Chains A and B, each alone.
Chain A
């Protein structure tokens, strides 16, 4: 398996522009997680899905952020409009289950820079 795939790997955009990050989870994994990594807050969970349904979006910072999972093999995280403070590395992860011992497998991340 190729692991979790994310695109793009790097994104530079200007403030106010729409940004879409993409993720393909590991085949057969029912859970998908979106994280954001910043120096100030570390690695924080934004939202997660189970069988394509959003379960907990309490970590989504504000209405400018939205996430979808139209099918089992694809998810998007969209920021509209983007702001400089959204600059961070965004990770997608997937797991086979939601048990306390289920390992989450992380993608390579998308480094977002908003100018």
Chain B
């Protein structure tokens, strides 16, 4: 994997469903992975910054895990709510410059 890849591209779930999506990235020269939440007509907001293999972060109903050896991160949302509808972006840090390389995002739509 040369760049950051996210799957699925879009997801539609019912309110109350739990869901998860994937971010894949090059496992070599790993520095950090950032997750952002981007609501329509707003700006991306930082969710998590993850650095260590096996790292797990949690914010309310949203959590993320990191596997740097195989190059992937999962984002989980437990009991999805309509307000969770957004595009979730992950980005890897390119070297130690702080430059973020973003994936295309996963767009989540939660139906009431």
Interface centre among A44, A99, A109 (most CB of B within 10 A): A99
In this assembly, does A34 line the interface, its C-beta being within 8 Å of a C-beta of chain B? no
Give residues of chain A (18-71) contacting chain B, Cβ–Cβ below 8 Å. 31, 42-45, 48, 55-56
Q: Say whether B100 contacts A45, CB under 8 Å.
A: yes
In this assembly, does A74 line the interface, its C-beta being within 8 Å of a C-beta of chain B? no
Q: Say whether B104 contacts A42, CB under 8 Å.
A: yes
Complex interface: chain A residues within 8 A of B96 (CB): 100
Which stretch of B11-19, B44-52, B73-81 is in the interface?
B44-52
Q: Closest CB of chain A to B41's CB: distance in Å?
A: 8
Give residues of chain A (68-99) contacting chain B, Cβ–Cβ below 8 Å. 91, 95, 97-99
Closest residue of chain A to B46 (Cβ to Cβ) is A103
Complex interface: chain B residues within 8 A of A109 (CB): 43
Complex Cα spacing A109 to B44, Å:
10
Q: Closest CB of chain B to A20's CB: distance in Å?
A: 20
**Selected contact of B49 from candidates A43, A44, A98, A103, CB within 8 Å:** A103
In this assembly, does A102 line the interface, its C-beta being within 8 Å of a C-beta of chain B? yes
Closest residue of chain B to A109 (Cβ to Cβ) is B43
| B 13-55 to A, binary, CB cutoff 8 A, 1 in contact else 0 | 0000000000000000001101000000011111001010000
Complex Cα spacing A97 to B91, Å:
17
Q: Say whether A102 contacts B98, CB under 8 Å.
A: yes
- Known pairs A42-B105, A43-B89; A104 contacts B100 (CB<8 A): yes
In this assembly, does B99 line the interface, its C-beta being within 8 Å of a C-beta of chain A? yes
Cross-chain pairs A/B with CB under 8 angstroms, 7 sampled:
A42-B102, A55-B97, A95-B98, A100-B31, A101-B32, A103-B34, A106-B44
Listed in ascending order, the chain B residues whose CB lies under 8 Å from chain A are 31-32, 34, 42-46, 49, 51, 89, 91, 93, 96-105
- A-B contact sample (13 more), CB < 8 A, given A43-B105, A56-B97: A42-B103, A43-B102, A48-B98, A99-B98, A100-B93, A100-B98, A101-B51, A102-B98, A103-B34, A103-B46, A104-B34, A105-B46, A108-B43
